[in-house]
Chain A
Amino acid sequence: MTRNKWFRLLGLIMALGMLAGCATPTPEVIEKVVTKEVEKVVTEIVEVEKEVTKIVAGTPVVEKVVETKVVEKVVTATPEPAAEPTERERTLIMSYPFEPSQIDPHAYFEAEINIPYNAVYESLFNMWGPDGEFTPHLAESFEYSDDGLTLTFKLRQGVKFHTGEDFNAEVAKWNFDRIMGMNLSPAGNLVRYIDSVEAVDDYTLALHLQNPTPGYHKLFAGNWAMKFVCPAAVEEHKTDDDPWAHEWFKDHMCGTGPYQFVSYEHGQQLVIEKFDDYWGAWEDPHFDKMIERIIPESSTQRMLLTREEIDLTCMPLELEDIKALQQEKGITCKSDPTVLIFIISVKATDAGETGPIMSNVKVRQALAHAFNYDAVIENIMGIKGSRISDMLFTPGMEGYDPDHFVYTYDMEKAKELLAEAGYPDGGFELELMWLEGFPDYPRIAEMYQADLAKLGITLKVFGAPPATFLDRIADPATTPDLVLRPRAPATITWLWIEGWTKVRFPPGGLNEGYYTNERFEELYQASTKEMDDVKREEMIREAAAIASEEVPVIWIAAVNDVMCFSDSLAGFVHSPWYMYTYWPYNLYRE
């Protein structure tokens, strides 16, 4: 190459470099260290007049003399007032990876909006706190009638909606009417049990139940508890075709919470700001504004958190990104237990090609022993999971025993059980379907596949989006042998064990293994009517013991909420009953 050509190449490279350098940088958060002088020494020249006695011709004479002196003085600076926090400092920016389909709390509840949800909307009771204690919130107390057919709430006074109207019994009743009138998913647990709703007086609300329903009050606390929307907003935006203003509420919010809705840019962000008339008051430090950003990629969220463009990632990132963030200064990744669990539903019906195999309880027990629980948590889930005992309860529920382990990873035991079942060398093929949307599932499935292969069982694994998943489990003949998915428990224990009864066969439920047992069904039915807590707990424990023996489910892990955040944040209140969120009202920046 000639010299001229080399110079031209060099010139081009320099020009490209200058072009890149001329790009206007995006504003960067710069940490400045400012040294303030509180006290300092000041040097001053002063003139002092004094009298001096001199001897002039033997006679003392007093003269006034001016003397110049250099004097050092200590001066204390007037303390400067603390700088006002900037708008950015007063704003919490959080990320979620998915956009909710809609945000009407009376239609369909989606976890992709948990912090804003719990900031704008409130329920009758709360379960915030590390042990998930049941505490009053919009309701101050509850009481059952002697016959168990009426549940009465005393409502809190002084609560206002964001539209300015008061929250009272009439408005609360109207909210029940709205949910049941719209008759979408959240209505299920109301229409099945409630006969009618009555506003007894301004602040007393009565639910007349179809049957005595023990523990029904617990449905009004937790992540999926009923929320209250502004009637004035419905009145303003309703139409003849849409009397409940569902269309407006699909992308707007209006409730009684500490924060009120500002805007929702689809696919981008949802903004809420402080509601000045919140009944909980604003004495402690709080954020003025919260912005939820929708950022699908885990790696992008990690980069943004590192550069302080967001403050908090709300749903667990990929494990590699969590590990990288744990090494970063100024960032913490905190793991908190939740009641959400990962399970494998095990087919327990004799329908379908593998029915005769899967309906054999020894085979199901063998499958439970062939799952490597500790390896899954250690190598795949990391801090996102923790071991769960194999009762029919989850951490946080009444009756949960953390030391109840019947099914441990034991390949010898699994082989023994298969031999007893008549399959000493395996020799059959099973299907495992996982619900898409959870990055750990393919690896968990592959690990299980490798273990089952050692027993001579061929496991075909595949993922399915929700629509396909629901289609497959709709028929006992087509439901897969093993279904890997999350399971979120109910706040009422008998409602939780209902999940393994005929009532919850798909469609209409998620007992996709089609498990049923006569004694289990009897115990479930009895527990739904038993108002005595001790007797009810005995029934549920007996049911749990039957389920443990018959393995309709393999209990993989309790899911931990892993949220990564800037160290400038404080006020974290987490509850196992609320996923992907801290209590927003308590959060602040130090």
Chain B
Amino acid sequence: MRLQYIVQRLMWMIVSLIGISLITFVVSHIVPADPIRAVAGMEALGEQVEVLRQKYGLDKPLPEQYWRWLVNLAQGDLGLSIRTGQPVTEDLGRYAPATAELALSAMFLVAIVGLPLGVISALNKDGPLDHLSRIVALSGVSMPIFWVGLLLQIVFFARLGVLPADGRIDIMISPPPRVTGFYTLDSLLSGDMQAFKSVVQHLILPAANLAFGSLAVLTRMVRSSMLDVLGEDYVRTARAKGLKERRVILLHALRNALIPTTTTMALQMGALMGGVFLVELMFSWPGLGFYAMRSITLIDFPSIMGVAILMTTIYAIFNLLADLLYGLLDPRISVEGGAE
């Protein structure tokens, strides 16, 4: 049944992707622009521009262009980037690992800080820690992400000099040989501890910047769920049975409090992917955001659509995982919908 459910969701995901691709195609082509001429050079001769236009298939009618793109997509081909001239899949493969590394690091920070902070806040309701987490939450949702990034750079780099301001690795250290594209993993795989240390140092500020907003949301969500759960009868029963408080909190309360939190975390992944674009610019992080900004500036249709499809796919997968996790956390919930 679960397998059937997964297959069904994947089918609907494909439908969503087609919808997203159509919207992106229409929007990017509505903008009056001539990306071919921009790439050919402002004073390129007409014939040179036409040669390039044919190469990228932009001399065909729009419906035919979209159909060809869909057919190629089914074969895993996202076309050629007008800006770089490289296959978009190759470009995405080059830039995506940096974004994935940053986003996963941020999610990790959100989880290891947000969950305990939310639990502690709930247990110390209206206490000093609860007030502190409220301040953090308010700051996280109200301060613009680029402003937080700038503050982090000024405090930790310019003033204190304890963390680097930008980049993925120290300029005088060679990047590790590429295996996964994740500098942390690749440096461990090659045994280069100097590179690993530098990579981790470079990850701290951008990951913290990216995590800040989501951390705030998650903390409040966990707090709220915990407060609901702590008032339930089964928690009172568990305490009455004489179970250790830690067991009551972690095994009985938190597990149930995580159910609504899981959805929040999946949705926050979407917010993270949105924020990653700005963070990458602030911290000179060579990821998808960096790539996408240049592509958008030059109205590079294939790249824009490639990034949109990739982001949508990631978001859809995380949502699916969240739904599946629901069922794991609470066996009463059937993935087909509703409690059994």
Contacts and interface: CB of A to CB of B under 8 A. Distances in A.
A108 B153 CA distance: 35
A88 interface: yes
Contacts of A470: 33-34, 37-38, 42
Given A98-B294, A183-B51, A28 B95 contact: no
Given A5-B127, A108-B40, A185-B41, A291 B171 contact: yes
A185 B171 contact: no
Interface string A93-125: 100001101100000110000000000000000
Given A5-B128, A108-B40, A472-B32, A265 B46 contact: no
B157 interface: yes
A183 B51 CA distance: 9
A508 B43 contact: yes
Contacts of B42: 466, 470, 510
A25 B162 contact: yes
Interface stretch (A303-311, A329-337, A445-453): A303-311
Contact of A187 (B31, B48, B171): B48
A504 B283 CA distance: 41
B38 to A, nearest CB: 4
B128 A8 contact: yes
B150 interface: yes
Interface string A452-472: 000000000000011111111
Interface string A9-30: 1001000000010011111100
B165 A507 contact: no
B318 to A, nearest CB: 25
Contacts of B165: 300, 303-304, 307, 309
B57 interface: no
B86 interface: yes
Interface stretch (B1-9, B261-269, B284-292): B284-292
A467 B298 CA distance: 6
A303 B128 contact: no
B44 A24 contact: no
B37 A467 contact: yes
B166 A300 contact: yes
A436 interface: yes
B284 A295 contact: yes
Nearest to B284: A295
Nearest to B36: A467
A66 interface: no
A267 B294 CA distance: 11
Interface string B301-315: 000000000000000
A146 to B, nearest CB: 31
A467 B286 contact: no
Interface of B: 31-35, 37-49, 51-52, 83-86, 94-95, 98, 127-129, 132, 150, 153-154, 157-158, 161-168, 170-172, 175, 197, 201, 204, 281-284, 286-287, 290-291, 294, 296-299
Interface of A: 1, 5-6, 8-9, 12, 20, 23-28, 87-88, 91, 93, 98-99, 101-102, 108-109, 183-188, 191-192, 246-247, 250, 265-269, 291, 293-297, 299-300, 303-304, 306-307, 309, 436-437, 465-472, 474, 504, 507-510
Given A296-B281, A303-B165, 14 more contacts: A8-B129, A24-B201, A101-B85, A102-B84, A108-B41, A183-B48, A186-B41, A268-B284, A297-B166, A300-B166, A436-B297, A470-B33, A472-B32, A510-B43
